[in-house]
Structure formats: structure tokens, C-alpha cells
Amino acid sequence: MTLRETGPVAATVYRGESIENSHLAHVAVVDAKGRLLYSFGDPSRMTLARSAAKPAQALAVLETGALERFGFDEADLALMCASHSSEPRHIDRTRSMLAKARASEDDLRCGGHPPLSDAVYIDWLKRDFKPGAVCSNCSGKHAGMLAGARSIGAAIGGYERPEHPLQVRVKHTVADVCDLPDDAVQWAIDGCNLPTPAFPLDRLARLFAKLAASQDEVADGSSSATSRTQALARIYRAMTAYPELVGGEGRFCTELMQAFDGALVGKVGADGSYAIGVRASPQTAALGSDGALGIAVKVEDGNVSVLYAVAAELLALLDIGTAEQRAKLDAFRAPKRLNTMGVETGRLAFSVELERAQ
């Protein structure tokens, strides 16, 4: 089997001194111009970004003018990029977005599912609560899509279908913002029933480097910032201003963005994808980056706890932020492995070694 089919081991879980599981992964680190700086495994691995692509999908909606037309605010935009925990604040905001877009829960083409939050799930079980479409972790994205469809004068029925005029726009926007031709992106159907893209892993890093670089450019007061740059910066600001809407209580995306206080943006994708955009700093310059930095990782077996651990480890390897900021992620980077009696049974060890691009 080739490296592309398997990948190198990035993390190993031990029970006692015995190996219980080995987790393969790939990493791509790019600068603000999309130049590959560091990698681990195959940085060009064709990767289903899943929900890590939501900022690009939200960009397509934003560029229809839907936010202004329907009075969506920055918190609404954050929820459009979210894989939320179905907490009351997430459900309430989804309902508010639907009302603004003159739509209803019946118009949503995502289904209800058990929440990503254990605390929310326990509450639902106690109340015998049956989740509907507004409870989907992707409900914000779908509410935004309904508004986007209305904004371009298209029917809202079938907004989720690949051939719908809005999804045609989304497909072009996703490819364009990743610096790819339309036919270089593959499409499948996501768990929430919308099209989801697959492209090389370094292009996912490129997307998040653009988010961070756009915020840098706008924050510097550049008079030459394009409308696309301003839109990407707006998405960056929305996600980092409302990290609790992007994830939820105790979730990695939320904890990550809160810990770094606007210096980076991060988003998970189901089945083992994660991407981070880091604003320019002396640390990114020391890594050889021309401006902002984009980091993308894919864990081959889709293990989310290992994904978060590797993402936190990459920040340490790249010396992003301060030791105090990174320490706020220690529960994810080095989770205690306990049995039902609270006895520590093992540990997670990393073997990620970033190779500098030639």
C-alpha cells in the first residue's frame, strides 16, 4: 500500500505499555499566498472537508447580499459557519434566522439528530424531547442557504439539491476561494443533506489562510481590499467574536478561539478534518510565512478526539501563540484516559514530525 492509501502514524494510544490504537494522519501548512511551508504525510490528499468548508459555503451566501436583505447580524453569520451543540441559544437563533428569511422549520432540508453535546442529550432524554430540523448542528448553514436562495430570486424548494441555482453558486465560490478550477473539486452529499466538497488538503489550509489574511488586510485599513477580502474578513470576525455559536460549551472549536482571543480561527469537519487560520505575527514570520498561516489536518480513521489532540499538538510544534494560551487546550491535547473507577489506564503519544517544504 502507498503512503497516499495509508499515511504515517501521527498519534498512538497506549493502554499500559501496550499499543491499543495507532492513528494515521496528514498535515498541510501554507502561507497567505498558498505556498506549502510544512507537511506531514500527504499534503495533497484528496480530502472531504465536510463542515470545515462551512466558511466557504457561508461566503457564497454572503455574496448574494442575503445578510443585508434579511437583516442577519454577525452572530447569525457565525451560526452559518457552525457545527453547533444544539443548545437553546443555537436553536433559538436558527428560528430567528428563519423568521428573518420568511421561512419555517418545514423548509429546512436537514434532519434532527442526537446533539453533539452530552449535556444537551441528557436534558433531551429527561424531557423526552424529539429533535427537529432546527436542532441539526448544521441548521445555521441551512437557514443561511434559504436566505441565499431567496436573495437570488430562486425557489427555496430544493435549495439543497446540487443543481439548484444557489448550490451552483456555492460550488463555484468554494473552488474559487481555494484557488481551484471548478472541475478540480469533487462533490458528495453531506450528513446534513447539502453538497459537500473534496479537494487537496493543502487547499483547505489555503482557505483558512485566506480567512486570516483577509482579516489582517482589513484590520490594517487597506483601501485596496476587495469585496471578497472584506467578506472573508467579516466571516473571520463573526466566528472569532461568537465562538460559542460555532461550537458550544466545552467544544474544541469554541475553546480554541476563546483561548487565542481573535488571533486564529478554527473549524472541525466530520470524520477527521480540521483547519486553522492564524493571523500574521512574528511567530508566523519565523516559520517562513508571508503573512498569515493556514493549517489543515486529516486523521484517516476519523477519530475526533485524536483529531483535536493532533490539532493542539500542531500549534505547539509551530509555536503558535503563548504557552499559556496553548495550555488552555491541554484537556484536548493530553486527555486523561480513565476507566469507570477513575483509574488512569493509558496515554496518547504523538509522532508528528513536520517536514519543511523544499
Residues 27 and 123 in one domain: no
Q: What is the pLDDT of residue 4?
A: 43
What range defines the domain where residue 65 resides? 51-198
Q: What residue has cell string 457545527? A: 83
Together in a domain, 61 and 34: no
Domain count of the chain? 2
Supply the mean pLDDT for the chain: 96
Residues 210 and 82 in one domain: no
**Per-residue pLDDT reduced to its tens digit, 316-340:** 999 999 999 999 999 999 999 999 9
Task: Tell me, yes or no, whether 290 lies in a domain.
Answer: yes
Q: Rounded CA gap, 250 and 120, in Å?
A: 12
Same domain assignment for residues 266 and 123: no
Which amino acid is it at 224?
A: S
Res 2 pLDDT > 60: no
Q: What is the mean pLDDT of residues 351-358?
A: 94
289 and 348 fall within a common domain = yes
CB distance 23 to 8 below 8 Å: no
Whether 257 maps to a domain, the answer reads: yes
Q: Would 3 be classed as within a structural domain?
A: no
- Same structural domain, 348 and 321: yes
Distance CA 76, CA 288 (A): 36
Same domain flag for 194 and 209: no
Domain presence at residue 148 = yes
Same domain, 155 and 67: yes
Give the C-alpha separation, 203 to 209, whole Å.
9
* Domain boundary residue, one of 165, 183, 198: 198
Label residue 224 by pLDDT band (50, 70, 90): confident
Could you tell me if 42 and 191 lie in one domain? Answer: no
Question: Does residue 124 register a pLDDT over 90?
Answer: yes
Domain shared by 262 and 330, yes or no: yes
Does residue 1 fall inside a structural domain? no
Give me Rg for the CA atoms of the chain.
Answer: 20
Residue 4 covered by a domain? no
E strand map for the chain: 9-15, 18-31, 36-40, 46-48, 186-189, 195-200, 264-269, 273-278, 293-299, 337-338, 344-350, 355-356
Residue 348 lies in a domain: yes
Amino acid sitting at position 179: D
Q: How far apart are CA 26 and CA 45, in angstroms?
A: 8
Average pLDDT over residues 205-213: 98
pLDDT confidence of residue 9: 97
The reply to whether 2 falls in a domain is no
> How far, in Å, CA of 296 to CA of 269, rounded?
11
Residues 258 and 129 in one domain: no
Q: How confident is the model at residue 5 (pLDDT cuts 50, 70, 90)?
A: low
Are the C-beta atoms of 291 and 20 separated by less than 8 Å? no
- Reference 251, options 239, 234, 237; nearest CA is 239
Residue 342 has pLDDT above 90, yes or no: yes
Do 44 and 59 fall within a single domain? no
What pLDDT sits at residue 129? 96
